[in-house]
């Protein structure tokens, strides 16, 4: 009979399909909606979504959180049906007919963040999807607040995102969060097709050479550090995902500066990544409120690559 730790270890190595039962999409009724919907039309192949719900929130004067609607836009109560019809039409113009016809459409007023989270809780959503305008600080702040407070996975689609998928980048720090992100990326790869490549990037700091009295050159010392990280990454994969060691390409980068997010974006662009999958804490109330500085910085500087944050 297997012990509890053995059962847990076996379970942790299992790769489950990345299927969404309920996705809630926040629509702003502005220019960010079209690229978001275009991307959803494409993504519904690699990531099957069983049910869609579209939400537009009309902010009121009591809302203190960033808005996801066009500045100055006002809709009276009498215009609610017209607004819902506008949402239906926008969705129907881009998404397949069956998807648009079966989707749910919701119009609320108040705080966009609160209403989106409330609908997510009500429908037990497992994925929240929002767009991000390239020139909007408010959109970026909203995305970060959503990731902080959502219990579900979150997909942020920048305005300049391309509707394609052949390179997935996963930042890893060898934590359980990294394992969840790698599992999600590998599951998406399996569903999208063999042409998709998964890259795992680890940014590490070098030990201070002056602290070591070793009989070797700085070049040899750096090579040893790199080789040790390569062995460490392989051991990590063999322990956590033994059946997928050869399906993940490691990118190991030393960095003596704290600006990790820019390194991630530089290498994402270098390998041609069109999706980034990140792991994030999301179980206790405290963890929900703590968003890693790397994730937050990445959302700030990323204007073209969709990011999935898995909880």
Distance CA 196, CA 269 (A): 16
Q: What is the pLDDT of residues 150-179, one digit of tens each?
A: 999 999 999 999 999 999 999 998 989 999
Looking at residue 294, its pLDDT comes to: 79
Asked if 274 and 265 touch (Cβ cutoff 8 Å), the reply is no
Q: What is the pLDDT of residues 68-86, one digit of tens each?
A: 444 444 556 666 788 888 8
| Average pLDDT score over residue span 20-47 | 93
Residue 258 has pLDDT above 90, yes or no: no
What CATH architecture applies to the domain 23-158? 3-Layer(aba) Sandwich (3.40)
Looking at residue 214, its pLDDT comes to: 60
Query: Start-end ranges of CATH 3.40.50.620 in the chain?
Result: 23-158, 167-310
Distance CA 84, CA 294 (A): 37
Looking at residue 288, its pLDDT comes to: 41
Residue 210 has pLDDT above 80, yes or no: no
Which range is least confidently modeled, 28-32, 35-39, 266-270, 276-280? 28-32
Average pLDDT over all residues of the chain: 84
Cβ burial of 264 (10 Å; 0-12, 13-18, 19+) is: buried
Asked if 168 and 198 touch (Cβ cutoff 8 Å), the reply is yes
Domain 167-310, CATH class in plain words: alpha beta
Please report which confidence band the pLDDT of residue 186 belongs to, taking 50, 70 and 90 as the band edges. Answer: very high
Distance CA 50, CA 31 (A): 26
Please give the share of the chain, as a percent, with pLDDT higher than 70. Answer: 79
Task: Kindly report the pTM of this predicted structure.
Answer: 0.85
| Average pLDDT score over residue span 3-13 | 46
Find the Cα–Cα–Cα–Cα dihedral 31, 304, 290, 252, rounded to 10°.
Answer: 180
């Amino acid at each position: 009979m297997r012990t509890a730790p053995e059962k847990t270890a076996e379970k942790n190595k299992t790769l489950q399909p990345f299927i969404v039962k309920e996705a809630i999409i926040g629509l702003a009724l502005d220019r960010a909606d079209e690229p978001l919907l275009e991307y959803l039309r494409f993504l519904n192949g690699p990531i099957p979504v069983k049910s869609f719900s579209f939400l537009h929130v009309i902010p009121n004067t009591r809302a203190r959180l960033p808005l996801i609607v066009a500045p100055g836009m006002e809709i009276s109560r009498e215009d609610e049906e017209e607004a819902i019809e506008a949402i239906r039409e926008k969705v129907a113009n881009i998404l397949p007919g069956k998807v648009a016809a079966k989707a749910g459409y919701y119009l609320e007023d108040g705080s966009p963040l609160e209403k989106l989270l409330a609908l997510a809780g009500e429908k037990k959503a497992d994925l929240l999807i929002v767009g991000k305008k390239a020139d909007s600080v408010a959109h970026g702040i909203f995305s970060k607040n959503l990731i902080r407070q959502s219990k579900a996975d979150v997909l942020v689609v920048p305005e300049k995102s391309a509707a394609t998928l052949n390179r997935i980048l996963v930042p890893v720090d060898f934590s359980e969060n990294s394992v969840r992100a790698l599992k999600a990326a590998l599951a998406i790869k399996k569903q999208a097709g063999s042409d998709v490549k998964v890259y795992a990037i680890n940014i590490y700091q070098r030990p201070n050479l002056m602290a070591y009295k070793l009989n070797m050159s700085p070049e040899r010392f750096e090579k040893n550090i790199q080789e040790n990280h390569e062995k460490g990454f392989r051991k990590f994969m063999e322990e956590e995902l033994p059946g997928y060691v050869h399906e993940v390409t490691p990118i190991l980068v030393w960095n003596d500066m704290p600006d990790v997010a820019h390194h991630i974006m530089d290498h994402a662009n270098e390998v041609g990544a069109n999706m980034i999958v990140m792991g994030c804490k999301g179980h206790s109330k405290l963890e929900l409120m703590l968003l890693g500085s790397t994730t937050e910085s990445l959302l700030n500087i990323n204007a073209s690559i969709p990011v999935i944050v898995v909880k």
